[in-house]
């Protein structure tokens, strides 16, 4: 059955989050209630699209008890899935909020090792779904070559899907060399793609345009954190400012931003509107503790601010 948006998560996780008053070494610490969430980049994107009222299908390998719990959590949220059963146990990630300082401690455990043949089985599933948009987000699972997302980029072209990738390091570099539809790098990732150690704010637009002209992608949306994002196409660039909010957590903010953008594209929005929705989703995600992502009502409220007042707060000349 065709699906317009398919997400691929090659290193999924069962996210656990809790809260304590103070983090003290060598003491038994009494934690607050445990919150369980289905996690991993592409899975978070599918969850966020669901919260926006959209539909997607999440494809991922799942193993053991944690894999079953992950699938059950997604089913409760109404997210359609096609999980590939694999041997072993899906990993866990742990997030602990210290309420006294509002500092968050995030413990990421090693992922479940999968083979390239198993990852290819995920691609076989996607091929039958015939998506318009294929979104891969997150790290590669142990056992996969760093060039695997490059293989996914070739696969996306073969099936006629627009490929949106949100990852980092060598995996990002290899995939970009093949060419993608949309990239969402932060400043550090953009610097690596541009082949420089560090980019100043006045160099961001030129670096992104260089990537586009080199054929690495068609659209770049550079995440600038609390400053919003920079939308760059062959036609130029535009700063999308973010509303000022009280930050609780940055977990899932990047995935939320990607979700907002692909949801907007699937709804027929322009690149300008797409980037605005992405910034609203990413900002809304920072307003919640743990791995909660965003509340839709926050997204629409923040989007209204961006559309109404954002122009006043734009950085007008990145080349200054």
pLDDT (tens digit per residue) in 20-73: 999 999 999 999 999 999 999 999 999 999 999 999 999 999 999 999 999 999
Whole-prediction pTM: 0.93
Q: Is-contact 159 130, C-beta < 8 A?
A: yes
Pairing of strands 219-223, 103-108: unpaired
Q: For residue 284, is pLDDT > 60?
A: yes
Active site residue: 37, 205, 255, 298, which one? 255
Q: For residue 319, is pLDDT > 60?
A: no
Residue carrying the six token digits 């660039």: 237
Residue carrying the six token digits 């926050």: 298
Under the banding of pLDDT at 50, 70 and 90, the label for residue 312 is: confident
Least confident piece of the model among 155-159, 217-221, 229-233, 312-316: 312-316
pLDDT top residue among 158 and 1: 158
The pLDDT assigned to 2 comes to 55
DSSP, collapsed to helix, strand or coil, labels residue 4 as: coil
Rounded mean pLDDT of the chain? 92
Q: For the domain with range 5-19+34-310, which CATH number is right: 3.40.1190.20, 3.30.56.10, 3.40.50.460, 3.10.20.30? A: 3.40.1190.20
Residue 218 burial by CB count (10 A; 0-12/13-18/19+): exposed, middle or buried? middle
Q: Is-contact 40 166, C-beta < 8 A?
A: no
Residue 64 burial by CB count (10 A; 0-12/13-18/19+): exposed, middle or buried? middle
Q: Is-contact 222 186, C-beta < 8 A?
A: yes
275, HSE (Cβ side, Cα atoms, 13 Å) = 24
Q: Output the CA torsion 181→79→10→39 (10° steps).
A: 110
Under the banding of pLDDT at 50, 70 and 90, the label for residue 320 is: very low
124 is catalytic: no
For range 158-183, the mean pLDDT = 94
């Amino acid at each position: 059955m065709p699906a317009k948006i398919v997400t691929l998560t090659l290193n999924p996780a069962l996210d656990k989050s809790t809260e304590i008053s103070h983090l003290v070494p060598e003491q038994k610490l009494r934690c607050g209630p445990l919150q369980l969430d289905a996690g991993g980049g592409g899975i978070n994107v599918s969850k966020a699209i669901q919260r926006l009222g959209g539909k997607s299908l999440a494809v991922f390998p799942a193993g053991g008890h944690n894999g079953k719990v992950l699938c059950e959590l997604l089913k409760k949220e109404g997210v359609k899935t096609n999980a590939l059963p694999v041997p072993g146990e899906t990993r866990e990630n742990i997030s602990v909020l210290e309420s006294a300082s509002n500092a968050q401690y995030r413990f990421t455990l090693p992922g479940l090792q999968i083979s390239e043949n198993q990852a290819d089985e995920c691609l076989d599933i996607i091929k039958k779904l015939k998506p318009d948009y294929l979104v891969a987000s997150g790290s590669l699972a142990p056992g996969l070559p760093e060039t695997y997302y490059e293989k996914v980029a070739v696969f996306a072209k073969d099936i006629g899907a627009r490929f949106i990738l949100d990852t980092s390091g060598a995996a990002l570099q290899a995939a970009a060399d093949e060419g993608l539809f949309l990239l969402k790098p932060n400043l550090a990732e953009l610097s690596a793609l541009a082949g420089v150690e560090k980019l100043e704010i006045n160099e961001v637009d030129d670096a992104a345009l260089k990537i586009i002209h080199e054929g690495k992608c068609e659209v770049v949306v550079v995440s600038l954190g609390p400053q919003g994002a920079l939308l760059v196409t062959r036609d130029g660039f535009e700063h999308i400012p973010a509303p000022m909010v009280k930050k609780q957590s940055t977990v899932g903010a990047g995935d939320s931003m990607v979700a907002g953008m692909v949801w907007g594209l699937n709804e027929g929005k322009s690149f300008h509107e797409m980037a605005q929705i992405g910034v609203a989703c990413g900002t809304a995600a920072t307003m919640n503790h743990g791995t909660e992502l965003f509340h839709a009502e926050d997204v629409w409220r923040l989007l209204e601010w961006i559309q109404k007042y954002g122009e006043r707060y734009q950085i007008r000349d990145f080349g200054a």
